[in-house]
Amino acid sequence: MAAYGLYTHISSNKFRSMLLLAGLFLLIYVLVFAGALVAEVFSHGGRSTGFYLTQARRDLIAAFPYATIAAAAWIAIAYFFHQNMIDAVTGGESVTRQQEPRLYNLLENLCISRGIPMPKLKVMDSPALNAFASGLNRRQYAVTVTTGLLQALNDQEIEAVLGHELTHIRNGDVQLMVIAVIIAGVVGFFGELFFRMFTNLSWNSSGSGGSSSSSRSSSSSDSDSKGSGGGGAIIVVIIAIALILLAWLLSQVVKLALSRSRELLADAGSVELTKNPDAMITALRKIENRGELPGATSAVMELCVDNPREGFADLFATHPSVDTRVKALVQFAGGHDPGPLALPSDAADESDTADEPAPGQPPVPRGPWSDASEPAGIPGTRPGPPEGPWGPHR
């Protein structure tokens, strides 16, 4: 049953990847139709709603091949250069065995033990504790790890995280996530382009509104033009704005196609690779609330082992909570949960905060001639005489 569920998940990912790609073209056509509606309103004023819809449909048919080529070109660019885009955002750099022998050997051993092709290995300089996999085919697959993760986790825990990312590659989760990022990017780009075009046109036309309205007032005797012209334009503009907002919203919620169960399956796959559920649990506990990548987009965070960013009421969260994942590993893999774990870096941060003087208080003097146990900066108080052979005779 477990194997059937896993293979069903993999085939479902492939099907949803193709479905999302088809949906990308559909959203592009919706945006083109909305843009055509806006253009027709400002090109032909005082017409009926049916006229604008008919003209926009003709414009869509004329622009259909160009929109298709633009969408295909975007997919081709993202297919070949998406890793470069991700590296530009995260600062990840490829490393060799000589540069990172510890990390490289752990990943290579996992790949050899299961006959998995070795993905590229990248390291990004960040104190955050996180890692992610990317790529659309075997030649592009890459696993990126932060320096903070390498410093905070031991070998077994790092191996568990690498096993988690390798499972994402094996299960086809990486392709689906990257395609979702591509769709959100292209639809968001064109949606913003059309929205800016619409706002610019509306502002530019506001200045000439008086002259156009005065010229149309001379023909106000025509009841058809008067009754359906202004109202039709307003209705069409509302429809266009609604279509643009709908396309943008769908591009943002497309990540809901990424089932959150993929993280649970990746955790289970890591345990299957390493035979060590406790290492996966302690790795998650250490990563918990420490995985935020400064400057990273939400699309990149959705690729990571843990995404601390949550949507409205957890509805749009792309990852289950760490507690949920740990409970699953305890229940089904026989692991042991140590609970939330503190790291040495946390203690250092707390000590730094404790050393800072309270607001409004003078700094505590430091050095061989001061005593931090005595109040400082208060008139009439001085440190006591030093004790020892050179102190006062008692």
Which residue numbers are catalytic?
165
Are the beta carbons of 125 and 148 closer than 8 angstroms? no
Closest CA to 254 of 171, 177, 321: 177
Closest CA to 134 of 110, 166, 157, 89: 166
Residue 386 burial class via C-beta count within 10 angstroms: exposed 0-12, middle 13-18, buried 19 and up: exposed
Other CB atoms within 10 A of residue 282 CB: 22
Please report, for the chain, how many H helices and E strands are present, in that order.
13, 4
Alpha-carbon gap, residue 358 to 356, rounded angstroms? 7
Alpha-carbon gap, residue 376 to 361, rounded angstroms? 10
Which phi and psi angles does 228 have, rounded to 5°? -105, -15
Q: What share of the chain is helix, strand, coil (3-state, %, to 5)?
A: 65, 5, 30
Alpha-carbon gap, residue 268 to 284, rounded angstroms? 13
- Where on the phi/psi map is residue 49: left (φ > 0), alpha (ψ -120 to 50), or beta? alpha
Distances (CA, A) of 133 to 63, 74, 303, 304: 37, 22, 7, 7
249-254 own/partner pairs: CB under 8 Å, 24+ apart: 250/23, 250/27, 250/187, 251/27, 251/183, 251/184, 251/186, 251/187, 251/188, 251/191, 252/184, 252/188, 253/316, 254/20, 254/23, 254/180, 254/183, 254/184
Closest CA to 309 of 130, 134, 151: 130
Eight-state DSSP code of residue 377: S
Alpha-carbon gap, residue 5 to 287, rounded angstroms? 28
